[in-house]
Structure 1
Amino acid sequence: MILAIDIGNSNIVIAMHKDDAWTNTFRYETKDTQPEFYYESALRNILLEWRISGSDVGHCVISSVVPDLNEVIIEAVKNVTGCHPLLLNPEVYKILDIEIPHPYEIGSDIVANAYAAIKLYSNACIIVDFGTALTFTIADKSGITGVTIAPGLKTAIQSLSSQTAQLPLVPIELPVSVIGHDTVSAIQSGVMWGYVGLVNEIIQRQKSELKGTYKVIATGGLITILHPLQTSFDIVSKELTLDGMRLIYDFYTSHK
């Protein structure tokens, strides 16, 4: 039984893998201002809700793009389960059987996505991750060969509201029309349909610069909102990051 904790800028995802499947998943908002006991209490309550004893958790892997939370959550895992989690970092990447460029700069979520995509789906792929940042990762059998990063949907909408005096924070919904008829629909049509165009354009430009055939794999919490993009993706995998974390854990622990 493997516990996976994916610490993102917007959300923390906690998931349990057992018998070749993700049997339980819980998502809550990332709050780096919470006291240390908050995360330990949250983990205890989640396992209690899943009817899983902490002592039954034999392994744990953590991916984090919020360094300030790393030690707090590592200690929470130790206290609740008794196991020492593996934190994805450059020392782990050195052991992997793919190349990770700029290991001290690249996000562990990007590494996990690429590893899962290569091992599970294709030796040549473009991974589109709809998270706090919108990332396009190019990977082949040798490893990660390039990354493109743009603000995520939620980030763009929040920024538009916080950086202007009169524009409100609007729901992340795709309107039927690209023409807005009030402030809310005007923002939604501009941002949401703008992102449809952004994603399609970057995918097409990346493909034109690459040699060979690349599969496009989409993942991330906001993937279902931009439904016109579904035809642009060969594969949609909501658990791609978690799968990558698990596969990296398995490879690392068997080769270190």
Structure 2
Amino acid sequence: MTIIDAQIHLWAGPIAPPHHWRAPYTIASALRDMDQAGVDRAVNCPAIWDLEANDYAVQAALAHPDRFATMGWFPLDGTADASVVDAWLDKPGMLGLRFMLAAPEMADRIASGGLDWLWAAADRRQIAVALMVLPPYLPAVADIAARFPRMRLMIDHLATNPFEKLPDAAAHLDALLALARHSNIAVKATGVPGMATDGYPFASTHDVLRQVFDAFGAERMFWGTDITRLPCSWRESVTMFTEELPWLRGRDLDLVMGEAVADWIGWR
């Protein structure tokens, strides 16, 4: 089984938000921890709090193309247009894009159509775009998926707020599951231990995972960690899925633990 983490952050600078307590998280740190945990590869989502993180992602992909790929980001300001997408995708190791659209002023652009140029550019190129988006905007994401069917969307962290615990963290679950009817939407089961109300193996989260799995299937539910903020080890994040979920076995387990996300982003 090839184990691929669907989301980590690499950065070398001293700045980080308080909840990302493993800081900074360098290429060397990640390789050491991945080897210890039995993680073969990781999708790097460059830290938005470090302006050098995109360049650092290129370094990681060039030095270790068999271990790191990148879902990069760029400022969605007045200078951004479809040409920026092309320039970004030309960077080594860049397999898609990832944007944090949780702030109200950014999230409102999802529903208003203010980012349609971005979705159209991704749709023409048939690339993957990951989104950190809050629950009130999930219906707008469904509309985007319907209008741009060749773009492959990925919803970060099951659309949960990283600061909430269950049951509040899953209050939006029905809205998330409703997205499964769109074949071009997948979900990252990342950061899951962070919403647990108990310790390893975080049994309080298992029913949520089962419902997501039943809705999206093994081809569109991706294991991952967001390791720098989790209250557990990388190895525990692995074994939580590989050993503690009796309904996740065989081919389904292979897909969830890595094969499906590699296929979704085109990481051959």
Bigger radius of gyration: 1
- Relative contact order higher in (CA < 8 Å, ≥ 6 apart): 2
Instruction: Specify which structure has the higher proportion of strand.
Output: 1
TM-score, structure 1 as length reference: 0.38
Please report the TM-score for the alignment, with normalisation by the length of structure 2. Answer: 0.37
